[in-house]
């Protein structure tokens, strides 16, 4: 692709890695060569760097696509998902899933990123609703604003919740911060 | 900015500009937007309007009018430049372009100075017009400074401006913030040394502008100072006269800035058809080397250039004037139509 096709969210292959353009600015002094000043994010590691290209430069587009899958099961060293449209299954190494495995419950929809046909990462929904499986009762009389306690949810993840939350209740959790958001009524 | 304010601003600032230019003896003209041959420039791409082109500036057409004796004139011209999309660029915009004709070369040189006063007057008029509409925006610069290109280079880099030679330009690039580690023209340079120097200067100028000049211009603007930069390196002359030779060669070209906003680009106009033909050929060679498509040569313009009277001319980015005077940070904030999706306007 030509550098003039750059835009936000363009996906580029640089040094073998897929990068996404997160910010983009075109500058060009009178009669000078145009500069495309970009912030690009490595789609595998998340690291963000500044990169400037000149008018006339050629870039390689990254073969990247994201498809929604639902979680089926984990087997210790990998996690298996099913494409919501084609029912095709894909197993992703535990290393690739990383800490996100703490949110993987049956049928959870996740976006799987494929780079050159290979699954290289998952993106969780920003919020999930999970059942509290273990949680001590609130301490009577302790009503201090902001007081919290540990609660363990169905996948084994522990989060801080307000004192009024009880075992068996369902709570909404922010997957990016792992913070309790609210109680969800059935 | 609300749509009615955008429309009123356009009307008021364009009226103010017309009134200044007409009031100082210029005639308003209108030349064709669709042309057989656009000006051949290193990094300005025309949009095709097959079998013709949309003009990237009215310069060639206006100079032909001047050659036919029309006299000092101006045009508020709609122009198109493919791929120029950014906060301060749009593919479709207006150039306010005007020419002050003289009887003698000395008269044209005086008019070249006069163009700077015109820019200052138009900026002041725009600020006044905006204020009268009750819109907010920055005050016009309290004063303007004129710097030579060489002095501005030294002030912003601490270095002497490089000579017009490939080695010197490559060396200079290493001292300019933001320029790539790989030297200019990392691949094989064009065989013709003058083409290589043109390509290298076109690139180095951009790195210098972005990394060193712009921050300095910003500080000047914060202190209420607008800047004219005069006497460019000869390879960056474009369609301007070159004076002197060798190390002393300088292009009689200037640019006017308020902060990072490059408002206008003026020339003491080149009148020698042979020199102009050589420059077009050099730019065409550089374009070919850069992988840019060939453009037809405007033989009609070259055939009339010999009759061009002594003249100084300038083009001002009209939307940039509007944006500056209201303090918006993007031209699209003042456009009378939202931007088309990127890539949809390719020629």
Neighboring chain A residues of B290 at a CB cutoff of 8 Å: 55-56
Q: Which of A10-24, A83-97, A126-140, B16-30 has the highest mean pLDDT?
A: B16-30
Select from B262, B146, B147 the least CA-distant residue to B214. B262
The confidence score (pLDDT) of residue B20 equals: 98
Helix axis angle, B318-326 relative to B3-23, nearest 10°? 120
CA distance B91 to B68: 31
Min distance B179 CA to chain A CA atoms (Å): 9
pLDDT per position as a tens digit, B310-340: 999 999 999 999 999 999 999 999 998 877 6
Q: Does domain A3-61 have CATH number 2.30.30.30?
A: yes
CA distance B280 to A29: 20
The confidence score (pLDDT) of residue A9 equals: 87
Q: Is residue A53's pLDDT more than 80?
A: yes
Q: Percent of chain A at pLDDT above 70? A: 95
- For the domain spanning A64-123, the CATH number is 2.40.50.140
Q: Is residue A48's pLDDT more than 70?
A: yes
* Number of H-type helices and E-type strands within chain A: 1, 14
Neighboring chain A residues of B180 at a CB cutoff of 8 Å: 52
Averaged over A7-23, what is the pLDDT?
A: 92
- Per CATH, A64-123 and A127-184 having the same topology is answered yes
Choose the mutation target among B41, B42, B43 for the interface with A, i.e. most A CBs under 10 Å. Answer: B43
The confidence score (pLDDT) of residue B347 equals: 31
Four-way CATH pick for A127-184: 3.30.420.130, 2.40.50.140, 1.20.120.330, 3.40.50.720: 2.40.50.140
Spatial neighbors of B301 by CB under 8 A, at least 6 apart, are: B37, B60, B63, B64
The confidence score (pLDDT) of residue B246 equals: 87
pLDDT per position as a tens digit, A96-110: 898 999 999 999 999
pTM metric for this prediction: 0.84
Q: Is residue B181's pLDDT more than 50?
A: yes
Do B205 and A29 count as a contact with CB atoms less than 8 A apart?
A: yes
- For the domain spanning B3-333, the CATH number is 3.30.930.10
Do A29 and B236 count as a contact with CB atoms less than 8 A apart?
A: no
CA distance B5 to B10: 9
Neighboring chain A residues of B207 at a CB cutoff of 8 Å: 35
pLDDT per position as a tens digit, B91-141: 999 999 999 999 999 999 999 999 999 999 999 999 999 999 999 999 999
Averaged over B255-284, what is the pLDDT?
A: 97
Do B236 and A31 count as a contact with CB atoms less than 8 A apart?
A: yes
What does the domain layout of chain B look like in residue ranges?
3-333
Q: Is residue B223's pLDDT more than 60?
A: yes
The confidence score (pLDDT) of residue B346 equals: 38
pLDDT band at B275 (very low <50, low <70, confident <90, very high): very high
Q: Is residue A37's pLDDT more than 50?
A: yes
Neighboring chain B residues of A5 at a CB cutoff of 8 Å: 343
Averaged over A31-44, what is the pLDDT?
A: 91
CA distance B29 to B49: 22
What does the domain layout of chain A look like in residue ranges?
3-61, 64-123, 127-184
Select from B191, B184, B149 the least CA-distant residue to B169. B184
CA distance B289 to B195: 9
Do A29 and B210 count as a contact with CB atoms less than 8 A apart?
A: yes
The confidence score (pLDDT) of residue A4 equals: 84
Spatial neighbors of B153 by CB under 8 A, at least 6 apart, are: B159, B160, B161, B208
Min distance B263 CA to chain A CA atoms (Å): 9
Neighboring chain B residues of A23 at a CB cutoff of 8 Å: none
A-B CB pairs within 8 A amount to 70
In B5-16, which positions are buried (b, 16+ CB within 10 angstroms) versus exposed (e)?
ebebbbebbbeb
**B198, B203, B204, B206: CA torsion to nearest 10:** 130
């Amino acid at each position: 692709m030509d550098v003039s096709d750059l835009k936000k969210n363009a996906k580029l292959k640089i040094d073998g890695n897929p990068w996404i353009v997160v910010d983009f600015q075109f500058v060009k002094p009178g009669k000078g060569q145009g500069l495309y000043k970009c912030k690009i994010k490595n789609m595998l590691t998340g690291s963000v760097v500044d990169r400037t290209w000149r008018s006339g430069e050629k870039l390689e587009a990254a073969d990247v696509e994201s498809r929604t899958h639902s979680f089926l099961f984990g087997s210790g060293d990998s996690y298996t998902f099913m494409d919501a449209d084609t029912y095709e299954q894909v197993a992703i190494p535990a290393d690739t899933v990383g800490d996100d495995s703490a949110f993987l419950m049956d049928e959870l929809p996740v976006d799987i990123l494929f780079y050159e046909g290979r699954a290289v990462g998952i993106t969780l929904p920003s919020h999930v609703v999970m059942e509290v499986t273990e949680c001590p009762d609130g301490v009577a009389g302790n009503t201090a604003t902001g007081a919290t306690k540990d609660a363990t949810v169905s996948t084994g993840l522990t989060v801080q919740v307000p004192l009024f939350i009880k075992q068996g209740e369902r709570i909404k959790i922010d997957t990016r911060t792992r913070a309790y958001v609210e109680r969800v009524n059935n | 900015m609300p749509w009615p304010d955008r429309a009123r601003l356009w009307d008021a600032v364009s009226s103010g500009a017309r009134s200044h230019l007409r009031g100082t003896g210029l005639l308003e003209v209108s030349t064709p937007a669709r042309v057989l041959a656009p000006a051949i420039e290193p990094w300005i791409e025309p949009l095709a309007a097959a079998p013709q082109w949309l003009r990237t500036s009215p310069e060639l057409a206006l100079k032909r009018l001047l050659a036919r004796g029309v006299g000092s004139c101006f045009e508020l011209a709609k122009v198109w430049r493919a791929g120029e999309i950014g906060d301060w660029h749009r593919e479709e915009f207006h150039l306010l372009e005007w020419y002050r004709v003289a009887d003698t070369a000395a008269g044209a040189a005086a008019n070249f100075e006069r163009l700077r006063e015109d820019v200052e007057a138009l900026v002041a008029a725009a600020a006044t017009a905006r204020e009268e509409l009750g819109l907010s925006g920055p005050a016009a610069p309290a004063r303007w400074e004129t710097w030579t290109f060489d002095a501005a280079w030294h002030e912003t880099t601490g270095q002497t401006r490089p000579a017009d030679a490939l080695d010197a330009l490559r060396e200079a690039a290493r001292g300019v913030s933001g320029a790539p580690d790989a030297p200019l023209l990392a691949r094989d340079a064009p065989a013709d040394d003058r083409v290589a120097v043109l390509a290298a200067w076109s690139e180095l100028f951009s790195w210098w502008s972005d990394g060193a000049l712009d921050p300095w211009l910003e500080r000047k603007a914060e202190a209420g100072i607008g800047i004219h930069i005069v006497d460019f390196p000869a390879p960056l002359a474009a369609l301007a006269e070159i004076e002197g030779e060798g190390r002393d060669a300088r292009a009689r070209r200037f640019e006017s800035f308020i902060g990072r906003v490059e408002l206008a680009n003026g020339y003491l106009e080149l009148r020698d058809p042979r020199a102009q033909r050589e420059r077009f050929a050099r730019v065409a060679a550089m374009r070919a080397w850069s992988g840019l498509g060939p453009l037809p040569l405007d033989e009609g313009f070259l055939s009339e250039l010999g009759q061009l009277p002594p003249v100084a001319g300038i083009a001002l980015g009209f939307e940039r004037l509007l944006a500056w005077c209201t303090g918006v940070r993007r031209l699209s904030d003042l456009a009378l139509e939202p931007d088309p999706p990127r890539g949809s306007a390719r020629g």
